[in-house]
Chains A and B, each alone.
Chain A
Amino acid sequence: MNSNRSIRFKPYIMILPALLLVALFSYIPFVLTFLNSVHSVSLGGERLAFVGFSNYRRLFSNPSFHASLSNTLRFTLFFVPTNIIVTLSAALLSNRKGWLANLNRIFFFLPMAVGMSSMLMILKMMFNPTIGIINRLIGINIQWFNDPDAAMALLVVAGVFLGIGFDFLLFSAALRNVPNDLKEVALINGANGFQIFRHLELPLIAPTLVFIVVTNIKNAMLISAPVLILTEGGPFRSTQTLVYQMYLEGFKSGNYALGSAIAIVVFLLTFTALLILLHLERRRIYYQ
């Protein structure tokens, strides 16, 4: 009886530490954030009165929020395909034998070893229109921090650069797991490189691809660090994303109610996007 009970409780005790951490860092803050978003909250962070959805109503009529929403969606739209094409090509390039391929692998993986903030500071210097090396190399005077389109492009470049190491690693591993004998069979049957990729490798790495798309969308919707360090939302709010505006409202202006409302909106948007994607995945992807 006694040992029986301890067996019954054992799994719960074992997940308790993880559960506590998740509750402490995710669930409780989530509930508090939601509560803040339907209350008026003082500068000191105390909830003053229940106001229903009026924070959301004010938010949706705020021009700054419109800008954030469209910037975030635009960024996601540019970033996700760019990132996947770049990291997948890199993985394909280094997916062969020989020391050159190994060297490639190291180079593509290396960015992961650099701290995010320091890398962004370096990018900021490199893209400086007057003293930066990028404009000098390409020979055109692009105002990276003054032209809204260039600033958005810069964010995408920064995003890809930050993500390349990890996504490359995942693609590399997936590509290596494609059985070699299948490739040989395809080659003997006269398939060219593209056909092998399209009909053999792509279906087999599809689960990884979906995982990367999902995490990329999540990362893109939540992008804030590059904005904070590189552009501070400028020029003219053209790179102000939802999470950056949340930071502005919540931490710079002390407007916790509005900041929380933005957080909830970001959560719902990201969550919906991911649900749709996971639903598609279940119908289309076959695991080995």
Chain B
Amino acid sequence: MKRFIILATIALLTIPMLFAQARKESEPYTTITWWHPNSGLAGTASEELIETFNRTVGKELKIRVEGVYQGKANDVLTKLKPILQSKDQRDLPDLAQLDGSAVLDIRDAAQLITIDELAKDDPGHLSRIVEATLNSITYRDRILAMPFNASTILLYYNKDAFAKAGIDRPPRTLDDVKTAAAKLRQTDDKGRTTFWGIANVPTTYELMVWLGHQNGLTYLTDYENGHTGAPTKVLFDENGTMVNFLTRWQAIYDTGSLANLTSDLNGAFASGQVAMILASTSNLSTIASMVGDRFEVGVANMPMVDENATGGVNVGGGAIWAFDTGKNNQRAIWEFLKFATGAEEQLKWHIATGYFPVNVDTYELPEFKAHLQENPLFGVASRQLMDSNPKLQGLWVPSAYQIYYAFQSGILKMLEEKQTPQEASRAIADEINGYLQEYHLMKAR
């Protein structure tokens, strides 16, 4: 079945190549393709990035970049995987922009070109990349991909609602969230909640931080969240971080001011149904434009689970992966990656999208400082990251989709079916351990 699909895909893809051949020969340009998931504001920004490159550096060095929008980051991965498995090089894109969930599937691919290899003769540029972002994509001392759309998680809050409820600053810990949520809640005459303090059902994205930053630094699984090997079991049930978190989350739920929303949170926030949400820094521009002048948006650091939870946040978002397409495009790939993560381009990218700059020089640019002065919200994200433990890293696990739902359903079950935090932690751990073991079954002979 699988081999057949691959063969059919190859057949479909090679037919147009017969016709493309004639055009290529007359072209002195090296063409590289970049599969990306950027749509909306980010889509426009990446188109501009490509256009600028092709007009300037690309023209000079006879390199042309073609961007191909391939759906969400997950879809890019779904489309990439069969080509990698087919061991065929010609259909591979030279570059693919993916998020953390791709690491396990791609890190061992023979066609992968790591950033160390690309930068071998030209290592200067890597020293200009923010260290935490490089760490976030390093596996066993190999930099797998080029950090590009880096983000962290942020607390977004409705400043007007906070002022009305008499709260003068955003919550620092989950206990503060509980107090604030209770004050923010509004009900109708039948006692139903009409305005919620906070909306969230924590899952992988939130828990990487809320479990990870406890006691300075805690790993969710063995092998340092999968960054030094394939994880075999979770640690959050043994070390008590999950129970500690769930106990506080239950307390927030008990105020009646926590909405268990999993989709369209930006909409619920912007339309004034909920006072606090957690979202990526990359949503900043989008949320700000959705809210318009209905109320004043505030952003703050991700609330700490408790006073000992000092680890901060991890770098999320994505990176650009390079592949050997058999056309010897390494030099062109490296030139484009350098350009895309250069100080100037990262500034434009940052302003357009809210992803924070991965180039340290961007932070020194006068335009960056001016932009920060006008839009102080943008500074919160980068400050939050600078204050974080650089060893706090995202979770690299197989079956990421199922694990995502295991967290989410497990937490909802605790809240709605009155489980104790201990029971919930145990059940979630058991389910996730099952998925981790599945992965080892797929490797062992």
Contact = CB atoms under 8 A, between A and B. Distances in A.
B264 A145 contact: yes
A252 B262 CA distance: 20
Contacts of A249: 399, 402
A107 to B, nearest CB: 31
A51 B439 CA distance: 15
A129 B378 CA distance: 29
Contacts of A130: 264, 267-268, 270-271
Contact of B401 (A67, A235, A253): A253
A267 to B, nearest CB: 14
A185 B340 CA distance: 80
A41 B401 CA distance: 19
B406 A146 contact: no
Interface string B112-155: 00000000000000000000000000000000000000000000
A44 B434 CA distance: 20
Interface string A43-55: 1110011000000
A233 interface: yes
B438 A258 contact: yes
Contacts, number: 104
B263 A254 contact: no
Contacts of A32: 1
B442 A40 contact: yes
Nearest to A231: B263
Contacts of A131: 267
Contacts of B431: 62-64
B2 interface: yes
Interface size class for chain B?
A: 35 or more
B263 A146 contact: yes
A234 B406 CA distance: 12
B78 A251 contact: yes
Nearest to A233: B405
B441 interface: yes
Contacts of B267: 128-131
Interface in A65-81: 67
A67 B444 CA distance: 29
Nearest to A48: B445
A248 B261 contact: no
B405 A58 contact: no
Nearest to B441: A40
Interface in A207-223: none
A253 B402 contact: yes
B173 interface: no
Interface string A217-255: 000000000000000011111001000000011011111
Interface residues of A, number: 41
A13 B441 CA distance: 45
Interface string B1-44: 11110000000000000000000000000000000000000000
Interface string A22-62: 00100011001100000011111100110000000010001
Given A44-B85, A64-B402, A251-B78, A256 B2 contact: yes
Contacts of B260: 146, 235
Contacts of B78: 251-252
User: Interface centre among B2, B3, B4, B439, by most A CB within 10 Å?
Assistant: B2
Given A24-B4, A129-B264, A42 B74 contact: no
Given A24-B4, A233-B405, A254-B105, A128 B442 contact: no
16 contacts: A29-B4, A32-B1, A64-B402, A64-B431, A146-B260, A146-B262, A235-B201, A235-B408, A236-B262, A237-B405, A248-B401, A252-B400, A253-B401, A253-B435, A254-B105, A257-B441
Given A234-B405, A237-B405, 20 more contacts: A28-B4, A40-B444, A41-B442, A45-B85, A48-B444, A64-B405, A67-B409, A129-B267, A130-B264, A143-B261, A236-B201, A237-B409, A249-B402, A251-B81, A252-B401, A253-B398, A253-B438, A254-B105, A255-B399, A257-B441
Which 5 A-B pairs give the minimum distances between C-beta atoms?
A130-B267, A145-B263, A29-B1, A253-B399, A235-B262
